[in-house]
Amino acid sequence: MAAYDEIADWYEEEFLRAQPVNPGAEALRGLLGEGSGVCLELGCGTGVHAGLVRELGWTPVGVDLSGGMLRHARARLPIARADAARLPIRDSSVAAVVAVLVHTDMPAYFAVLREVARVLRPDGVFVHVGVHPCFCGGFADRGDPAAVVVRPGYLDGHWTKESWTDQGIRDKVGATHWPLPELLNGFLDAGLTLDRFAEAGTPLPIVLAARAHAR
Ligand SMILES: C[S@@+](CC[C@H](N)C(=O)[O-])C[C@H]1O[C@@H](n2cnc3c(N)ncnc32)[C@H](O)[C@@H]1O
One-letter-per-residue 3-state SS of 150-200: ECCCCCCCCCECCCCCCCCCHHHHCECCCCHHHHHHHHHHCCEEEEEEEEE
Closest atom of ligand 1 to CA, residue 100: 6
Between 24 and 194, the more confident residue is: 194
Between 215 and 188, the more confident residue is: 188
In a domain, 150, yes or no: no
Q: Which of 28, 48, 66 for a ligand 1 pocket mutation test, highest count of atoms within 8 Å of Cβ?
A: 66
Closest atom of ligand 1 to CA, residue 108: 19
Centre of ligand 1 from the C-alpha of residue 125, in Å: 20
Please report the pLDDT score of residue 145 as a whole number. Answer: 85
Average pLDDT over residues 23-29: 91
pLDDT at 1 over 70: no
Q: Sheet containing 192-200: which strands, arranged edge to edge?
A: 79-81, 59-64, 38-42, 94-100, 120-131, 207-214, 192-200
Confidence at 31, pLDDT banded by 50, 70, 90: very high
Length of the chain: 215
What CATH number corresponds to the domain at position 196?
3.40.50.150
In a domain, 171, yes or no: no
Ligand 1 site residues, Cβ closer than 6 angstroms: 1, 4, 24, 43-45, 48-49, 63-66, 69, 83-85, 100-102, 105-106, 169
In a domain, 158, yes or no: no
Centre of ligand 1 from the C-alpha of residue 144, in Å: 28
Total of domains in the chain? 1
Please report the pLDDT score of residue 56 as a whole number. Answer: 98
How many CB atoms are located within 10 Å of the residue 121 CB?
A: 17
Helices (H), the chain: 2-10, 23-32, 50-55, 67-73, 109-119, 170-173, 180-189
- Tell the residue nearest (CA) to atom 14 of ligand 1: 43
In a domain, 56, yes or no: yes
Average pLDDT over residues 18-45: 93
Backbone angles phi, psi at 76, to 5 degrees: -105, -25
- Tell the residue nearest (CA) to atom 4 of ligand 1: 45
Centre of ligand 1 from the C-alpha of residue 44, in Å: 6
Average pLDDT over residues 106-120: 98
In a domain, 210, yes or no: yes
Average pLDDT over residues 195-208: 94
- Tell the residue nearest (CA) to atom 23 of ligand 1: 43
Percent with pLDDT over 70 in the chain = 100
Average pLDDT over residues 21-32: 90
CB 183 within 8 A of CB 174: no
Average pLDDT over residues 182-191: 98
Confidence at 103, pLDDT banded by 50, 70, 90: very high
In a domain, 156, yes or no: no
Centre of ligand 1 from the C-alpha of residue 67, in Å: 11
In a domain, 169, yes or no: no
In a domain, 128, yes or no: yes
> Which residues constitute the domain of residue 187?
2-132+180-214
pLDDT in tens, 43-100: 999 999 999 999 999 999 999 999 999 999 999 999 999 999 999 999 999 999 999 9
